[in-house]
Structure 1
Amino acid sequence: MRPSLPIAVALMLTCAMLVAATTLIAKTLGNGTMGEPVPALMLSQARFLFGFLAVAGFLLARRATGRKAWSEPAGGASRPNWGLHALRTSLGWLATLLMFSAARYLPLSDVNALSFLSPVATMLFAGVILGEKVGPWRWLAALVALAGALVLLRPGAGVIQPAALLALGAAAAMGVEAIAIKRLATTEPPGRTMAINNGMGTVIACLAAIPVFVWPQGPGVWALLVALGTIMVSAQILYLTANQRAEASFVAPFWYATLLWAAFYDIVFFDLWPDRISILGALIVVTGGLIMTWREIRAGRRRPVGPMGR
């Protein structure tokens, strides 16, 4: 095993821990655990505002130490593709808003499991938008993952939890966003992409939050809002670094550790143990995702796997 591979695994597992932590923070602030519930629009505002500040600090620190690789133009591009950036950021903001809204009502394990449907959405939309050929194995993976989502929706209970539909909407938005990210990755350096994404997202999120904005009360609430953006950006950086140190096909399966962290947070912070339906649905969704990852490896594709657009 190459020396960089264990580091890549550690980076991806830490990334999974942080991503699950953002839904924990969203749930804690959104359900009133810290006092007055914070609207999801304000949570998404904090994610992008403080995320932008974190990205700016990170890139300035790299520039100060002479490490400019993340901000150098890639593929010969000299100017950003502003239209594609705007599309990607709008979808990322929408996915974040829907995820944080769903986290208020659902177990974190269910929210994160449903988010793993985003590669399925990417596959479906790529077939329509980009004309990519979808083979039988990828269709099988999609059907398995969708079966898992159906289990998580619990239709046998007589009513489908509306919050689960929010999580499904988030997965769909992330799926389309991934197509834009794929296009940007061929011409744009990751540092510039992250800065533009978080900067645009800050403008969109701040404007959207105006109707519901109230000044956060208490240092604890402020600390969690700052952490929301900082943690998400840190997860993005770890994700990109892991994919630089090892093939995306190698590190992709470790992304599913997000589910374990989400279940851990549910148990520790909310005394909420996953039931049999949650466990079964999550296992089926992950199985579909692993089949798709395996097929990507066999097909020789090296693009990263995982809903890290947001």
Structure 2
Amino acid sequence: MQAAPASRPLLALLIRLGAVAALATMSALIKLASQSGVHLVEIMFWRQIITVPLLLGWVLLTSRSLAPLKTQRPGTQFMRAFYGTIGMSLNFGAVILLPLAEATTFSFTAPIFAVLLSIVLLKEQVGIWRWFAVLAGFAGVVIIAQPGGSHFPLYGALVALGAAFMVALISIQIADLNRTDKPLAIVFYFAAFSTPLTALGLPFFATPHDATQWLLIVGIGIIGMAGQLLLTAALRFGSLSSVIVMDYSALFWATLYGWALFGMLPPGSTWFGAPLVAGAGILIAWREHRLSRPRRAPTPLEDA
């Protein structure tokens, strides 16, 4: 087993910031591709299959061997790809169903779901601060979604929340895989295992495409691969709780792309609810950071 990578928090933050910009750009391209007539299943398939030869070529060019793609846990890699495929369908579906800013804001609930997962899966005790963050975050979701009177379909919000839940679950898997496998290997096996899964739907949804659609598809694949590599690398050099604060820069990109490409700006409810959701995530990240440091025993009013 290889040694755990050294912690480099500033590098991790910068890498995560680049990952957020790349994935926000990919989301804008996904929405454009969907509006042009490319089906979600096709978008997912091409997003993944393009990654396989690009990564193979890059590894052979830089390493002269396939050693960086070696994995000690193929079964774990497959499960990460399985869950990742589900998460990808929900994530891409949210981008297609919702305005970019709203889809992005709902994705900020991932840290909230991470807290809930830590209770269920890790049997972790959660104190008053993080419970407050969970409640505040979901209050923000209700304000944005406005059940019964929203400017977008409620099922779109549910899809986006499902995507955020899967992000939280997959982040735990990636952090675990980073202990033994390189980021290149994690991204490669995600693409290699998920490509045949998504290919099962092609006979039912594949259609001919024009040059513009193919450019969008190729752009999704290349930029998505870059974003995934950066996302995985950030977790190699820093903890999830320390880098996740960079994810909130995605709202800037989503608002910019939404206005420039689709002529849409978020309504007042989104601007009011988004700070609650983002603030909840930041509070959780701050508490996780503090709890990761050696310190005295907590008082009853502090997190366990």
Q: TM-score range by the shorter chain?
A: 0.7 to 0.9
Deviation per residue, 1:96-120 (Å, 9 max, x gap): 1122222223110111111121222
Q: Superposition pairs for residues 25-104 of structure 1, below 5 Å?
A: 25-32=29-36, 37-64=37-64, 70-71=68-69, 79-82=72-75, 84-104=76-96
Cα distance in structure 2, aligned partners of 1:133 and 1:20: 34
Q: Superposition pairs for residues 136-285 of structure 1, below 5 Å?
A: 136-155=128-147, 157=149, 161-215=154-208, 217-243=209-235, 250-285=242-277
1:103–1:111 Cα contact (<8 Å) kept: yes
CA RMSD, aligned part only?
A: 2.5
1:91–1:174 Cα contact (<8 Å) kept: no
Cα distance in structure 2, aligned partners of 1:134 and 1:198: 35
CA deviation after TM superposition for structure 1 residue 24, in Å: 0.6
Deviation per residue, 1:75-129 (Å, 9 max, x gap): xxxx3241x2222212211121122222223110111111121222222123212
2:40–2:92 Cα contact (<8 Å) kept: yes
CA deviation after TM superposition for structure 1 residue 243, in Å: 4.8
Structure 2: unaligned runs, 5 residues or longer:
1-7, 294-304
Change (3 A) 1:182 1:246: closer
Change (3 A) 1:125 1:8: closer
Change (3 A) 1:184 1:7: closer
Change (3 A) 1:272 1:199: same
Structure 1: unaligned runs, 5 residues or longer:
74-78, 302-310
1:154–1:160 Cα contact (<8 Å) kept: no
Partner amino acid for 1:231? Answer: I
Cα distance in structure 1, aligned partners of 2:271 and 2:27: 18
2:20–2:227 Cα contact (<8 Å) kept: yes
Cα distance in structure 1, aligned partners of 2:249 and 2:143: 20
Q: Residue 120 of structure 2 aligns with which residue? A: 128
Partner amino acid for 1:27? Answer: K
Deviation per residue, 1:150-195 (Å, 9 max, x gap): 1221125179522111111111222222232233233333222221
Cα distance in structure 1, aligned partners of 2:60 and 2:122: 36
Cα distance in structure 2, aligned partners of 1:176 and 1:246: 18
Deviation per residue, 1:217-270 (Å, 9 max, x gap): 112211111111211120122234445566655543222101110110001111
Cα distance in structure 2, aligned partners of 1:250 and 1:137: 17
CA deviation after TM superposition for structure 1 residue 286, in Å: 0.5
Change (3 A) 1:81 1:139: farther
Cα distance in structure 2, aligned partners of 1:72 and 1:225: 29
1:54–1:229 Cα contact (<8 Å) kept: no
User: Percent same amino acid among aligned pairs?
Assistant: 26
2:51–2:188 Cα contact (<8 Å) kept: no
Q: Residue 300 of structure 2 aligns with which residue? A: none
Partner amino acid for 2:24? Answer: A
1:126–1:179 Cα contact (<8 Å) kept: no
Partner amino acid for 1:44? Answer: M
Cα distance in structure 2, aligned partners of 1:239 and 1:183: 14
CA deviation after TM superposition for structure 1 residue 8, in Å: 5.1
Partner amino acid for 1:102? Answer: A
Cα distance in structure 1, aligned partners of 2:161 and 2:271: 18
Partner amino acid for 1:12? Answer: R
Secondary structure at 1:157 match in 2: coil
